[in-house]
Amino acid sequence: MDSLITAAARALAAGHPLGALKLVALRDDAAALALRGIAMAQLGEFIRAKALLRSAARAFGPREAVARARCVVAEAEIALASRDLGWKAKALDAARATLDEHGDRVNAAHARNLEVRRLLLIGRLDDAERALTRVSAPLPPALMAVHELVVAGIAMRRLSTREARGALARAEGAARAARIPALIAEVESARLLLDTPAARLIENGRERPLLLDEVEDLFASKAFVVDACRHVVRHEGKLIPLAKRPVLFNLARAGRGLARRRAPGRSRRARVPLEARR
């Protein structure tokens, strides 16, 4: 690998896409195309980034399986960033297997992190947790920060706020060690979810906002809760699913106080009813 490619790769790893582009903007070899694609992705130009990465994958020779696999992983990351969940998960799995086979443990672990993030986005929490346990390679700070963000995301959806705060603290330390401003900002944005009201509780005619950890405490209490996010009734740790029984669900809601809970990761305006009675 020549010095310009090495320097551009280092610039991208440090979160400096413009610096990387200055080094490889006029080159059309496979490695340069791949780096240009990653740089465009970091700048938010996802369509152009995907085109460059696909061109790079075609340009790499038959003996450059690892390079092609890295292009697939980068394209999968772009798909996640643009919330395109229609990309082929099997392609990412094949790329991860290739990276593992050739000893590229770090990029293989990155591919696994992407797999977990996809499962998290489509709501398959159990599968995401199982896949997360298979991310075992020592990770550089930037990838460790992303990994801990995934851990925090699962914990927030499980309403395990203490675990989420611990994961976000580790993510912040890793992001600062990586010295990537965009990653530090992403961690800070995730932390704000825990410190922003996530619900409105109406009890005995009074209304008050709830943080996510207070919602967790409510679910753990002896309160009778009608959870309109998951369409279940909760009481003392027991759940009764009513998604397929809308009449019973509406009857359960009829006499209860109203709270509105925002699912972690959604905008502040996306409110979901949650009803509770002590």
How many angstroms separate the CA atoms of 228 and 234, rounded?
A: 11
Residue 26 exposure: Cα atoms within 13 Å on the Cβ side: 3
Give, to the nearest 10 degrees, the angle between helix 46-59 and helix 30-42.
Answer: 160
31 in Cβ contact with 12 (< 8 Å): no
Per residue in 147-161, pLDDT (tens digit) is 999 999 999 988 899
Q: What pLDDT, on the 0 to 100 scale, is given for residue 137?
A: 64
Using one digit for the tens of pLDDT, what is the confidence trace for 99-127? Answer: 999 999 889 999 999 999 999 888 898 99
- pLDDT for the residue numbered 68: 93
The type of residue at 83 is: R
Q: What was the pLDDT predicted at 14?
A: 84
The mean per-residue pLDDT over the stretch 52-60 comes to: 93
Give Cα 156 distance to the centre of its chain: 12
Angle between helices 30-42 and 17-24 (to 10 degrees): 150
Which pLDDT score is estimated for 159?
Answer: 85
Write out the two tokens for 29: 């070899």
Q: β-pairing, 232-235 with 238-241? A: antiparallel
pTM: 0.75
Going from N- to C-terminal start, the domains of the chain cover 3-142, 143-195, 199-277
**CA dist 101 → 56, 67, 74, 104, 134 (Å):** 21, 13, 18, 8, 15
Under CATH, which number does the domain 3-142 receive? Answer: 1.25.40
Cα–Cα distance, 118 to 112 (Å, whole number): 10
The side-by-side arrangement of strands in the sheet containing 199-203 is 206-210, 199-203, 257-261, 272-277, 224-227, 232-235, 238-241
- Coil/strand/helix, residue 226: strand
Across 92-205, the runs of DSSP E, i.e. the strands, are 199-203
3-state DSSP assignment of residue 211? coil
Higher-pLDDT residue of 215, 269: 215
Q: Which residue has the higher pLDDT, 238 or 106?
A: 106
Q: Which residue type is seen at 13?
A: A
Q: Which residue has the higher pLDDT, 273 or 218?
A: 218
What angle do helix axes 125-132 and 105-121 make, rounded to 10 degrees? Answer: 170
